[in-house]
Structure 1
Amino acid sequence: MSVEKSEKEGQVPEVVDADAALEYLHREGAAAMTEADEKALVRKLDLKIVPLMWACYNLQYLDKTLINYANVMGLQEDTGITGNQFALLATLFYVTYLVFEFPTGYLMQRLPTAKYLGANVFLWGLIVALNSAAKNWAALATLRVLLGCFEASVAPALILVTSMWYKRSEQPLRVGFWYLGTGTGSIIGALSSFGFQHYESDTFTSWQIMFLLFGSITMAVGILTAVFLPDSPMTSRLTREEKIWAIERLRENQTGIENKHFKWYQVRDCFTDPQTWIIAFITVAMSIPNGAISSFQATIIKGFGYTSKETALLSIPSGVLTCVSVIAAGVGAAKYDARGPVIVTLLLVGGILGGGLLAFSHGDAKAALLTGNYLTNTIGAALPMLYSYAAANVAGHTKKVTANAMLLAAFCLGNIIGPLTFRDADRPAYLPAKAAIVASTAAAALATAALIAYYRWENARRDRRYGGLAHRADSEFFDLTDRENTEFRYRW
């Protein structure tokens, strides 16, 4: 079943190619669900789905930033690369990450989502392990390119999985839980770097063992993801009643669950939607400091005059603060069902306050510099709120995967620009790069305020124009875009 496209907003489409969930409901019938049933189901989903999503995101962050820790463990000296070549490694990763976003979005819609994600996790784990054999710039660059290809799948896949299983009011907290992987990944990386620096061998260096260990762990998680993470409610290991409950409770989202037919008109809808471009701009602007921080945090701390071992330990609070800010943001957004104000707060704290301390504190004021460095980690906590925007405010399966690809492409673009602001000529203070943190987050905060205003204006316009229209049965699963569906209202 599906729905024929409607070129005009408000035009009621004919049902000919709808969401797969509607076909399942028509085939299996109804099943009564009590409030207790729903609570038990959500608890079961949280235990089955969220830990695997966290594991994938934790490892994607850890694996891409291992090179940051390896750099202070002697990577540059052992492989004979320069500081500018090291900075270029971060750029290469995000270039291929960006290039593969749209192909991976298409494949994700056509293939079983969880199986596709699991395969990519396994393959990037293999690439991470192979870093242990890299001896020169060419080998490191090649592996970095391949890592970007396979890691491109993780965030859009997890956004899609979250929207398949959770109500819009539930999504910010669940996105926050799996996004905690950035904080836990930072903590694990710092502790591992400190521990491995005590390892000495004539055969392998400490950073080689680190790459080999985490690459092996990632491959194991890839297999577990492919086996145990369900592709959709309809094909999951839930009981018949639980599958129906999982579908029925998502009617209020009006974003559907799954449709394997790629619809070009929804791609066009995505590229002509104002919210798409505002979200993309916010993502680019806030990702410029994020890219710099994730790739150069250890280098920045070491530049304050600390040893490699001290740098590893002093990197731990960054991960802790990331975890705290992500949890606080998720809880706040879920409690008040408001994502935009949370984003603005995080950007002001991390970018303006933290970036300002980092950029403009005196070189001898180590406490202020470290505080600023730590506070900048709250900028990244705004990203799951943008993921939640994409999950909650974009409807139509093809439009959703396209919007997710655009969001991650914007994330890549910001992360490409960010590391390039750290030039060897500006060492050790890197003042221009630190000033860029303040400027870019200020721009992101202003754009977020504009997005909130747009959503509120559009909802009011729809209330005036379509408030009196009757509900059409099962329209929640017609695979309509948010702009086609006159009953759709945006969460801001």
Structure 2
Amino acid sequence: MSPSLEAASDEKVHHADPEVVSVTQENVYRPEVDTSGVKERRLMWKIDLHTVPWLAFLYFLNSLDRGNIGNAKLYGLETSLNITDKQYLIALTVFFFPYALFELPSNLVLKQLRPSRWLAFIMFVWGMSTTLQGVAHNYGGLVALRVILGLAEAGLYPGIVYYLSCWYKRTELGTRVAFFFTSATIAGAFSGFLAVAIHKMDGIGGKPGWAWVFILEGLFTVCCAVATYFILSDFPDTAKFLSETERVWVIRKLRADMKFSASGEKFKVTYVKQALLDWKTWLAMGIYMGFDGPLFAFSLFTPTIINQLGYTSTAANLLSVPVYVWACIVTVIVGILGDRLGKRAAINLALFTTGLAGYIILIASKNAALSYFAVYLAAASIYPTVPNSVAWVSSNVEGSYKRGAVLAMAIGWGNINGAVSSNIYRAVDEPWYRMGHGIVLAYIAIGWLSSLAYYFLLRRENARREAGERDEVIDGVDNKFAHEENGHFESVEKAREEKGDEWSGFRYSL
């Protein structure tokens, strides 16, 4: 180990008790606070209960309101609004442009305005947009409301991921992301049941059943938006449900896990610039592209695909339920394994391989039962890959603003591919939709290749840091490996603060 790393070695050890980091060091957060009485397991349960369940519920509503147009389509939305299949696809497409482009600014605003305020506001807007889709009278109105829906929903997913990364260690994040993301699979399953139930209101108030799907689900989101302002806590250093001692303990724990900015960080444009110039950002965008394109195609068209295999509209909605239940189970299992094993690259490659197999079967199959089985393979690939990739990417970016920017860029680029995948299942290609399945297959291949490159480049960079090639010049530290081109700093702490994950002592997780 090079001398600069030795000087900071006790700062990098991942201890069960973050206070094990010596209180004689200047970098210890609030050294005057005694946290020896904090019980870790009890405190983590407390944090979990105040963050994960409500965030999962919000994402459930997000997924429900984004995808319910697929259920409404089966009950006559196109006929009632007198729109063609092409116009329907355009209405799906326009959602994704604001959905992708607004994610980066949304994450920066979230940090400034606090999660409780910002997430409640965007929820209110998308809830109203969903509700108004139920009273739309024409194609233009539907398109306008889908644009507003995309603009408002853009901030939730990257905001939640960023928010959780500010609360949990790298070895804790995957399980929490998996649990919150399973709400998307539950939404997929529940939307089928809900659409069948709500459709029974057909004719009430002069509204068709598909309209009530939008109205009732949208109004419920609006009510939950108001509740979010009062329920959701903000960041660890200001969380009211924690005592002062608990807040200090959490921040020390995060700093011991190389999350140096855990106690607060002032915004600098340079953090966004670092995100733009970092090669990891661009490979992360490839990984997200590999699962987000398939994700949106899957969630929007699963009922339609099953319907075209020979099942009625109601049966298609109901047969989509067990697919999502299976996806939910696999996502939770993979999330837990990812945190315990830490082999996120291997997990990603295995999941993408499963997806490749599923879509190859869908392309080749002319049997409804075999195609339905392949849908399960696809679900078991796409949904678990999301939280595993999120945890992997976020754990390799240090600095709260940089991490927020990287996540927003990766998620935004992934989401904009939904504009492509929402147009690939055309009515002219039914019932086997081979063109659509082929394009999804290409997306998954991109994700597989990007994951492989990300792994090998991270491993190479870790090896260079172990060899001292990235060591900075630190005042007062005699280090024969130090290079001026790596930076000159007055202390190790300053190097950590300025360079984030580019600091020579930072190690990437594989």
The normalised TM-score by structure 2 is 0.86
Name the CA distance, whole Å, in 2 between partners of 1:173 and 1:121. Answer: 25
2:483 aligned with 1:481, yes or no?
Answer: no
- Tell me which residue corresponds to 1:99: 101
CA contact (8 A) 1:197 1:309 kept: no
- Tell me which residue corresponds to 1:415: 418
2:220 aligned with 1:217, yes or no?
Answer: yes
Alignment of 1:309-328 (within 5 A): 309-328=314-333
2:246 aligned with 1:242, yes or no?
Answer: yes
| Residue among 230, 233, 237 paired with 2:236 | 233
CA contact (8 A) 1:165 1:233 kept: yes
Deviation (angstroms), 1:257 = 2.5
- Alpha-carbon spacing, 1:23–1:384, altered in 2? closer, same or farther (3 Å): farther
Moved over 4 A (4+): 22-28, 466-477
Name the CA distance, whole Å, in 2 between partners of 1:131 and 1:257. Answer: 41
Deviation (angstroms), 1:137 = 0.7
- Alpha-carbon spacing, 1:240–1:316, altered in 2? closer, same or farther (3 Å): same
Q: Which moved more, 1:44-53 or 1:211-220?
A: 211-220
2:281 aligned with 1:276, yes or no?
Answer: yes
- Tell me which residue corresponds to 1:356: 360
- Alpha-carbon spacing, 1:141–1:24, altered in 2? closer, same or farther (3 Å): farther
How many residues align? The count is: 469
1:454 is aligned with what amino acid?
A: L
CA contact (8 A) 1:110 1:261 kept: no
- Alpha-carbon spacing, 1:140–1:28, altered in 2? closer, same or farther (3 Å): farther
| Residue among 269, 272, 289 paired with 1:267 | 272
CA contact (8 A) 2:251 2:263 kept: no
- Alpha-carbon spacing, 1:326–1:33, altered in 2? closer, same or farther (3 Å): farther
- Alpha-carbon spacing, 1:434–1:159, altered in 2? closer, same or farther (3 Å): same
CA contact (8 A) 2:289 2:446 kept: no
- Tell me which residue corresponds to 2:342: 337
CA contact (8 A) 1:232 1:258 kept: no
CA contact (8 A) 2:75 2:313 kept: yes
2:257 aligned with 1:287, yes or no?
Answer: no
1:236 is aligned with what amino acid?
A: A
CA contact (8 A) 1:91 1:416 kept: yes
2:454 aligned with 1:451, yes or no?
Answer: yes
Q: Which moved more, 1:454-463 or 1:283-292?
A: 283-292
Name the CA distance, whole Å, in 1 between partners of 2:301 and 2:175. Answer: 29
Deviation (angstroms), 1:78 = 1.0
- Alpha-carbon spacing, 1:82–1:476, altered in 2? closer, same or farther (3 Å): farther
- Tell me which residue corresponds to 2:191: 189
Alignment of 1:294-313 (within 5 A): 294-313=299-318
CA contact (8 A) 1:286 1:414 kept: no
Q: What SS is found at the alignment partner of 1:420? A: coil
Deviation (angstroms), 1:198 = 3.1
Deviation (angstroms), 1:441 = 0.9
Kindly provide the CA deviation profile for residues 443-462 of structure 1, in whole angstroms up to 9, marking residues without a partner as x. 31122111111111111111
2:202 aligned with 1:200, yes or no?
Answer: yes
| Residue among 34, 46, 49 paired with 2:48 | 46
- Tell me which residue corresponds to 1:58: 60
- Tell me which residue corresponds to 2:398: 395
Q: Which moved more, 1:169-178 or 1:336-345?
A: 336-345
Name the CA distance, whole Å, in 2 between partners of 1:31 and 1:107. Answer: 34
- Tell me which residue corresponds to 1:346: 351
Name the CA distance, whole Å, in 2 between partners of 1:31 and 1:82. Answer: 67
Alignment of 1:454-469 (within 5 A): 454-465=457-468
Name the CA distance, whole Å, in 2 between partners of 1:93 and 1:24. Answer: 46
Q: Which moved more, 1:373-382 or 1:259-268?
A: 259-268
Q: What SS is found at the alignment partner of 1:481? A: helix
Q: What SS is found at the alignment partner of 2:100? A: helix
Name the CA distance, whole Å, in 2 between partners of 1:128 and 1:28. Answer: 50
- Tell me which residue corresponds to 2:22: none
CA contact (8 A) 2:290 2:448 kept: no
Name the CA distance, whole Å, in 1 between partners of 2:107 and 2:36. Answer: 34
Q: Which moved more, 1:138-147 or 1:399-408?
A: 399-408
Structure 2 portions without partners, runs of 5+:
8-24, 478-489
Deviation (angstroms), 1:24 = 12
Name the CA distance, whole Å, in 2 between partners of 1:222 and 1:153. Answer: 14
- Alpha-carbon spacing, 1:423–1:41, altered in 2? closer, same or farther (3 Å): same
Deviation (angstroms), 1:25 = 7.7
| Residue among 372, 377, 392 paired with 2:379 | 377
2:447 is aligned with what amino acid?
A: A
- Tell me which residue corresponds to 1:491: 509
Name the CA distance, whole Å, in 2 between partners of 1:142 and 1:29. Answer: 56
Deviation (angstroms), 1:150 = 0.8
2:255 aligned with 1:251, yes or no?
Answer: yes
CA contact (8 A) 1:25 1:244 kept: no
- Alpha-carbon spacing, 1:23–1:194, altered in 2? closer, same or farther (3 Å): farther
- Alpha-carbon spacing, 1:104–1:24, altered in 2? closer, same or farther (3 Å): farther
Name the CA distance, whole Å, in 1 between partners of 2:113 and 2:31. Answer: 23
Deviation (angstroms), 1:147 = 0.6
Identity of aligned residues (%): 27
Deviation (angstroms), 1:475 = 6.1
Q: Which moved more, 1:281-290 or 1:53-62?
A: 281-290
Name the CA distance, whole Å, in 2 between partners of 1:25 and 1:208. Answer: 57
Structure 1 portions without partners, runs of 5+:
1-8, 13-21
- Alpha-carbon spacing, 1:24–1:308, altered in 2? closer, same or farther (3 Å): farther
Name the CA distance, whole Å, in 2 between partners of 1:154 and 1:326. Answer: 20
1:31 is aligned with what amino acid?
A: D
Name the CA distance, whole Å, in 2 between partners of 1:23 and 1:158. Answer: 32
CA contact (8 A) 2:99 2:416 kept: no
CA contact (8 A) 1:173 1:333 kept: yes
- Tell me which residue corresponds to 1:165: 167
Deviation (angstroms), 1:250 = 0.9
Deviation (angstroms), 1:276 = 0.8
Name the CA distance, whole Å, in 2 between partners of 1:334 and 1:179. Answer: 15
Name the CA distance, whole Å, in 2 between partners of 1:23 and 1:321. Answer: 50
Deviation (angstroms), 1:474 = 5.6
Q: What SS is found at the alignment partner of 1:196? A: helix
Q: What SS is found at the alignment partner of 1:290? A: helix
